[in-house]
Amino acid sequence: VPLEETSLPLFFGWFLLPGIQDKVRCTSMDFLKTLDTLEAFKKHLPDFTVDAEKEVDLEQYFQTNGALHCTTKFCDYGKAEGAKEYADKPAVKELYGSAFELSLSALFVTPRTVGARVSLSEDQLTLWPADAEKEAVSVVPAAATLPAGSRAHVTLGCAEGVEPQQTGFDLLEILALQQEGQEGELVEEMELGSLAYYGKGRWLLSLREPVSAQACFSSLYG
Ligand code: A2P
């Protein structure tokens, strides 16, 4: 492999600072702990397990690994389409290593992933690749019509055998339903915010107070 290719990272993104990582992990754990005790969740349990008699412990169901981050561009060491163009963008070069405040506005859970939605500011959108949503259309067709930044998320956990990039697809699916006018079935007002069900095991908790997360724009070589 030529050195020029290996000089591109696995991915670029915002890496949450250690203190806020702990806070976000705790919030996510609290949410999962509460969710799997709710009657409404138990009613839809077959979405999560074929054995409806069995209880699901969501904290065990999802595996977490690595530092919490919001991927901007997955480069795959230069093999991904548009990787070099992204790395060469003036905003990427200029803002590399800078601190940001990300706004985590919602938590979502599906049978595949648990994640946090990141609502990007205008400034932060300058680091968002123009085709991030379009790259997802083979999985979520409606992604083509969603605004830039819709896919921005922090993966908090994946079910066994599920790849982390699934978290962004799961978020796009929920946002596509909202765009079609489906509000989701309001299930409960929780301390953290309002919980809605979107069918097929998809749950969205809109946070009453968005979590402000300090993060550094950087890259991971892995
Ligand atoms: P995500 O951003 O949803 O967490 P991996 O561990 O599979 O090498 O991935 C490293 C990071 O890059 C993960 O955070 C992952 O998902 C993201 N990622 C992996 N593949 C892709 C892809 N094809 N498109 C966008 N992001 C990806």
Which entry of 73, 112, 153, 202 is annotated as an active-site residue? 153
> What is the Å distance from ligand 1's center to 50 Cα?
28
User: Is the distance from the beta carbon of residue 124 to the nearest atom of ligand 1 less than 6 Å?
Assistant: no
Which protein residue's CA is at the shortest distance from atom 12 of ligand 1?
74
Tokens, residue 78? 């230069």
Q: CA–CA separation, 160 vs 30, rounded Å?
A: 21
Concatenate the DSSP letters of all residues of 40-105 into one string.
Answer: HHHHTGGGT-S-TTS---HHHHEE--S--EEEEEE-GGGTSTTHHHHHH-HHHHHHTT-EEEEEEE
User: Is the distance from the beta carbon of residue 74 to the nearest atom of ligand 1 less than 6 Å?
Assistant: yes
Which protein residue's CA is at the shortest distance from atom 19 of ligand 1?
165
Tell me the pLDDT band of 21, cut-offs 50, 70 and 90.
Answer: very high
> What is the Å distance from ligand 1's center to 194 Cα?
28
Q: CA–CA separation, 61 vs 159, rounded Å?
A: 6
Is the model's pTM score more than 0.90?
yes
Element (H, E) at 70: strand 69-74
State ipTM.
Answer: 0.97
Tokens, residue 177? 């339903």
User: Is the distance from the beta carbon of residue 193 to the nearest atom of ligand 1 less than 6 Å?
Assistant: no
Q: CA–CA separation, 79 vs 92, rounded Å?
A: 18
State phi, psi for 176 to the nearest 5 degrees: -65, -40
pLDDT in tens, 33-62: 999 999 999 999 888 876 666 778 999 999
Nearest to 81 by CA among 135, 39, 121: 135
> What is the Å distance from ligand 1's center to 74 Cα?
6
The predicted structure's pLDDT at residue 2:
58
pLDDT in tens, 121-169: 999 999 999 999 999 999 999 999 999 999 999 999 999 999 999 999 9
User: Is the distance from the beta carbon of residue 72 to the nearest atom of ligand 1 less than 6 Å?
Assistant: no
Strand partners, 189: 194
> Known catalytic residue: 44?
no
The atom of ligand 1 lying closest to the CA of 135 is 24
Mean pLDDT, all residues of the chain = 94
> What is the Å distance from ligand 1's center to 182 Cα?
28
Q: Identify which of 10, 71, 138 to mutate to test ligand 1's pocket (most ligand atoms within 8 A of the CB).
A: 71
